[in-house]
């Protein structure tokens, strides 16, 4: 696991977007794992901007999303299919038939979960998995006590998770109680993982996930077992890490990060630039 601390949330999201773009340029047939949530919106806006201004090509890319609510149709305002269409899929030249998500409306949810796992295998596995982290440390919807070898399945959402997601719904009572999620084991099978976390409210759980013991109570701690995993944080999210000086030294000295080091040295300037990109990228949605 590597931890990279950037000056602000915009610089962190910019780095993640450029990592994804680099992988896609190197492998036009990239199998990309995707996540949803407010944190990811800046990443997707930056990717849309790179598609429009730099010719970033999504035509050969295949995608698999981490999760979907049980009981929400694809046209529901809060479905993750709707989210992905709005923020990325309909803004770039990806073939929608190559964008896969669990079907939360499936009559047989267990069969749907097995089907999703088989689809990932059929496409050769996920090359790069984008991740966020919940307030209780979950990856996807792998709530506390999720087995570290778990596969795609239905999970009951914790009160903490439902409360965290409630502002996105017109009423807290409308937040679904269940979701289909890729399992912790499914995530660990991905060839490379990149987790983005920003904001002071994520600092405590990030410190536990990175520097605490591996435990099924915090599924993000399983990333300590992954051979190629990077956590990209802003200053606020990384503020409680004990080894932050070493993490900064790694970013400044490790050769693989050299292409990214000069992109966001001026945090406020980068923030202004990406805000302009976000407005431009979503203006015709």
pLDDT one-digit tens code per residue, 47-96? 999 999 999 999 999 999 999 999 999 999 999 999 999 999 999 999 99
Domain membership flag for residue 282: no
Range of the domain at 184: 2-264
Spot the catalytic one: 51, 87, 138, 226. Answer: 138
Instruction: For residue 90, tell me if it sits in a domain.
Output: yes
pLDDT tens column, 119-145? 999 999 999 999 999 999 999 999 999
> Is 270 part of any domain?
no
For residue 238, being part of any structural domain is answered with: yes
DSSP-derived letter for residue 8 is S
pTM of the full structure: 0.92
Total of domains in the chain? 1
Within-domain flag for 280: no
The one catalytic residue in 136, 189, 211, 280 is 136
> Is 228 within 8 Å of 191 (Cβ atoms)?
yes
CB count within 10 Å of CB 25 equals 14
pLDDT interval class at 261 (50, 70, 90): confident
- Residue 19 makes CB contacts below 8 A (sequence gap 6+) with 128, 194, 230, 232, 260
Query: Residue 72's domain is classified under what CATH number?
Result: 3.40.50.1360
- Catalytic (active site) residue 75: no
User: 136 catalytic, yes or no?
Assistant: yes
| In-domain check, residue 12 | yes
Task: Name the active-site residue from 14, 68, 143, 235.
Answer: 143
Q: Which of 14, 51, 65, 67 is catalytic?
A: 67
Q: What is the band of 282 on the pLDDT scale with cuts at 50, 70, 90? A: low
What is the rounded distance in angstroms from the CA atom of residue 81 to the CA atom of residue 277?
Answer: 23
Does residue 11 contact residue 234 with C-beta atoms inside 8 Å?
yes
Q: Assess if residue 275 is contained within a domain.
A: no
Question: Pairing relation of β-strands 67-69 and 178-181?
Answer: antiparallel
């Amino acid at each position: 696991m590597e931890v990279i601390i950037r000056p602000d949330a915009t610089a962190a999201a910019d780095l993640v977007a450029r990592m994804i773009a680099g992988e896609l340029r190197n492998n036009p047939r990239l199998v990309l794992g995707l996540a949803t949530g407010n944190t990811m919106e800046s990443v997707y806006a930056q990717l849309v901007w790179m598609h429009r201004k730099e010719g970033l090509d999504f035509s050969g890319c295949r995608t698999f999303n981490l999760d979907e609510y049980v009981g929400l149709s694809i046209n529901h305002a809060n479905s993750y299919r709707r989210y992905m269409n709005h923020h990325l899929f309909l803004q770039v030249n990806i073939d929608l038939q190559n964008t896969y998500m669990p079907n939360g409306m499936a009559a047989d949810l267990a069969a749907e979960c097995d089907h999703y796992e088989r689809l990932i295998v059929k496409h050769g596995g996920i090359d790069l998995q984008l991740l966020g982290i919940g307030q209780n440390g979950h990856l996807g919807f792998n709530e506390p006590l999720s087995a570290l070898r778990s596969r795609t399945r239905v999970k009951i959402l914790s009160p903490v998770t439902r409360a965290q997601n409630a502002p996105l719904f017109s009423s807290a009572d409308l937040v679904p109680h269940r979701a289909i999620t890729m399992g912790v084991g499914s995530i660990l099978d991905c060839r490379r993982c990149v987790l983005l976390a920003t904001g002071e409210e994520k600092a405590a759980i990030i410190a536990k996930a990175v520097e605490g013991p591996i435990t099924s109570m915090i599924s993000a701690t399983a990333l300590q077992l992954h051979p190629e995993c990077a956590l990209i944080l802003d200053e606020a999210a990384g503020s409680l890490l004990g080894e932050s000086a070493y993490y900064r030294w790694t970013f400044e000295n490790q050769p693989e990060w050299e292409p990214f080091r000069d992109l966001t040295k001026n945090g406020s300037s980068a923030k202004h630039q990406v805000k302009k990109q976000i407005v431009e990228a979503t203006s015709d949605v």
